Every structure is written in C-alpha cells, then in structure tokens.
C-alpha cells in the first residue's frame, strides 16, 4: 500500500514524496496501532506524546526546502518518524529528545533501518545543541509559547526553521522562519495542534 497523491496535493517536492512512500511508518508505531499505519492521523506513542499524521510530517519537511547538503537540528525526536525524513533528505541530523524511553526506542528503530547520519541528545529543546551550531535548518515538533532564543541564535544565516508556536491547551500557528542578514522573516503557514515543548 502507498499514499495517494490526490490526498496529499500540497506535497510537490519529489524527494519528500519519495521519502513518504519509502519510510515504513509502521515501524515507528506501537504494535496496537500498526493497523493504522496508512491512516493520515496522529497516533499515541506513549508518555503523552504522539506521532504526527504523515501529511503534516511530509509538508513540514518540504517547508525546510532540503537539498541534501544541510546540517539539521530537530527538537523532539519522539517516535523518530520525522527524524527519518530529515536523515533521508539532509546530510546530518542532530536530534534532541527530553523523554529517555522514547529516545532509546527511536534510536533503535532508526538504526535498524540503516540511518547512520543521526546524532542523538537527551535534554531540553529550549537550549538547542550549541556545540554543533550553526544549523542550516531547524525542525521543531513540539510547541513553545514563543520561539526560544537559543534556536534563533543557532540558525545559520539563510537558514530555515519550521516551528509551531502557541498555547499548551489550544490551537497553535505553524511558522516558517528564515534568517536573513540577522533578521527573521516569519511566514504563517496554518493552524496546528502539537504537544507543548517542555523546559526540563
């Protein structure tokens, strides 16, 4: 079974489309939900976290406009599904997760799928990963109330960040942020609902 283009018409990047149809989502889902692998909806992965719907994962990846040479920072490894898209389409991925059991499970799955360009860190996404900055792209899969200063400072000149911003218990706005000559260009994409970014 594969995803149907008519249901995902906003996915126009062929590399993203190929990734969507080659990354086995079922490997990132708990066994009790694997029959929903091709359901375009978020699913629980434990610890109050979710794996996002594939159409959103693909579209957020597309917004980063990856060409294959980039160094990417991901905030919120979660199930590792979004991480797999980034690792497939960029050169290096540095991914941070706050919840250790989720990190360990994602790491095991990604390793079993052959990804060798992913670097893992356990900690708070608010701080980013300064040691390897700057990053050509930043993907955030949890929602802070405002964009953390550390993530802005670690974004390279000309780099792009995709991030949901808003309240913990309501609708957030998905943004694409581009750093141009030190200033930030903000594009509102559309309303979304993500788990909150936790400062831990």
Predicted confidence pLDDT, tens digits, the chain (200 residues): 667 776 788 899 999 999 999 999 999 998 888 889 999 999 999 998 999 999 999 999 999 999 999 999 999 999 999 999 999 999 999 999 999 999 999 999 999 999 999 999 999 999 999 999 999 999 999 999 999 999 999 999 999 999 999 998 889 999 999 999 888 999 999 999 999 998 86
Q: How far is CA 188 from CA 60, 149, 185, in A?
A: 12, 19, 10
7, part of any domain: no
* Domain region containing 61: 12-192
Which of the residues 22, 52, 55, 79 is marked catalytic? 52
3-state DSSP helix/strand/coil % of the chain, to nearest 5: 35, 30, 35
Give domain status of residue 187, yes or no.
Answer: yes
- 52 classed as catalytic: yes
Q: How many domains does the chain have?
A: 1
Q: What is the CATH number of the domain that holds 41?
A: 3.40.50.150
In a domain, 147, yes or no: yes
pTM above threshold 0.85: yes
Any domain includes 197: no
Asked if residue 199 is part of any domain, the answer here is no
């Amino acid at each position: 079974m594969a995803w149907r283009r008519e249901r995902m018409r906003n996915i126009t990047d062929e590399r993203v489309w190929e990734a969507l149809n080659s990354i086995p989502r079922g490997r990132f889902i708990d066994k009790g939900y694997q029959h929903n692998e091709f359901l375009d909806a978020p699913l629980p992965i434990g610890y109050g976290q979710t794996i996002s719907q594939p159409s959103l994962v693909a579209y957020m990846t597309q917004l980063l406009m990856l060409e294959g040479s980039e160094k990417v920072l991901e905030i919120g490894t979660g199930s590792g599904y979004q991480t797999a898209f980034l690792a497939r389409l960029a050169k290096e991925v540095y991914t941070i997760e706050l919840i250790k059991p989720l990190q360990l499970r994602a790491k095991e799955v990604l390793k079993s799928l052959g990804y060798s360009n992913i670097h893992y860190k356990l900690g708070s996404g608010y701080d980013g990963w300064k040691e390897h900055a700057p990053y050509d792209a930043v993907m955030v899969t949890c929602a802070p109330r405002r964009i953390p200063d550390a993530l802005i400072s670690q974004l390279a000149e000309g780099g792009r960040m995709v991030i949901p911003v808003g309240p913990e218990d309501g609708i957030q706005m998905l943004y694409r942020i581009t750093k141009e000559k030190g200033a930030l260009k903000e594009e509102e994409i559309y309303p979304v609902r993500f788990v909150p970014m936790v400062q831990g």
